[in-house]
């Protein structure tokens, strides 16, 4: 029992700062949905089943703006496709584990948990799996609590978007991305993504987020190829 309590507690404590960091984000998500015509049940169900803050916020705004269904599906697919890459990145670490471990890990493999997944032995022992699930599900529970608070606030208070809570989204992703900039290709990817997103959104281009992501990934891939070719020739 002691061997289980230790990784459970450590996973919870390690994830706690990020659970607290997304309080404004979760409240914004819940209140924004309510103020755009979603019912409390629909709003909470989205957090329980989708569990993807950026995709939820984008989908809420697109639905509220009567955006065509195909655009909504394509945009949310592109935004959420990074989770497929996360799965590929950790696949070799969990491939030997039984399905009863792999399924819950895949459900809670968010940006925040992926940031904890770079240790060479992550997910490869029962202790590390318990740690990962504790961190992942504590974030899941926190996200749904903050959403619920946002639902209540959205029904009782005026428009919360005027409070600048959406900055929490940018702040959280900055905190996750910056430590991962360890080579030129990643740096170029981040810079191109930021520049293109700012430029395209300012023009009112509907698919600004999708195009920015694709351009940034292409730029990062190009830099990676250039660096590899130079290393091969030297």
What does 162-183 look like in DSSP terms, one character per residue?
GGTTTHHHHHHHHHHHGGG--S
What percent of the chain is predicted at pLDDT more than 70?
91
- Report the distance separating Cα 22 and Cα 141, nearest Å: 12
* 73 token code pair: 């599906």
Say what the pLDDT of residue 44 is. Answer: 94
- 1 pLDDT exceeds 70? no
At residue 234, the pLDDT reads 66
Among 64-73, 164-173, 191-200, where is mean pLDDT lowest? 164-173
What pLDDT was estimated at residue 191? 92
pLDDT tens readout for residues 115-160: 888 777 888 888 888 899 999 999 999 999 999 998 998 777 666 5
pTM: 0.73
Q: Provide the mean pLDDT of the chain.
A: 84
pLDDT confidence tier of residue 195, bands split at 50, 70 and 90? very high
Tell me how far apart the alpha carbons of residues 78 and 72 are, in angstroms, rounded to a whole number. 10
- pLDDT on residue 167: 64
Q: Output 234 or 141, whichever has higher pLDDT.
A: 141
Reported as a single tens digit per residue, the pLDDT across 78-129 is 778 888 888 888 888 888 888 899 899 989 988 888 888 877 788 888 888 8
All structural domains of the chain with their residue ranges: 2-180, 182-234
Name which of 210, 207, 169 is nearest 24 in CA terms. Answer: 169
- Is it the case that residue 200 has pLDDT exceeding 80? yes
Distance CA 152, CA 158 (A): 11
Cα(15)–Cα(136) distance, integer angstroms? 8
Positive or negative: CA dihedral 174, 176, 182, 186: negative
The one-character DSSP state at 22 is T
């Amino acid at each position: 029992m002691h061997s289980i309590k230790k990784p459970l507690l450590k996973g919870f404590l390690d994830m706690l700062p990020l659970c607290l960091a997304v309080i404004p984000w979760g409240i914004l998500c819940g209140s924004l949905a309510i103020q755009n015509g979603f019912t409390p049940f629909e709003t909470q169900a989205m957090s329980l089943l989708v569990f993807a803050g950026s995709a939820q916020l984008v989908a809420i705004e697109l639905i509220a703006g009567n955006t065509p269904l195909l655009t909504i599906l394509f945009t949310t697919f592109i935004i959420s496709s990074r989770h497929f890459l996360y799965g590929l990145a950790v696949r070799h670490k969990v491939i030997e584990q039984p399905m009863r471990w792999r399924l819950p890990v895949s459900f809670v493999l968010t940006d925040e948990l992926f940031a904890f997944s770079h240790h060479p032995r992550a997910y490869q022992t029962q202790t590390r799996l318990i740690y990962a699930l504790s961190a992942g599900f504590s974030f899941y529970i926190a996200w749904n609590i903050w959403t619920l608070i946002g639902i209540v606030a959205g029904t009782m208070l005026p428009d919360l978007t005027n409070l600048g809570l959406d900055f929490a989204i940018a702040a959280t992703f900055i905190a996750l991305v910056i430590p991962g900039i360890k080579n030129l290709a990643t740096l170029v990817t981040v810079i191109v993504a930021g520049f293109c997103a700012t430029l395209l959104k300012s023009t009112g281009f509907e698919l600004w987020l999708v195009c920015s992501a694709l351009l940034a990934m292409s730029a990062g891939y190009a830099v990676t190829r250039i660096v590899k070719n130079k290393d091969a020739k030297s």
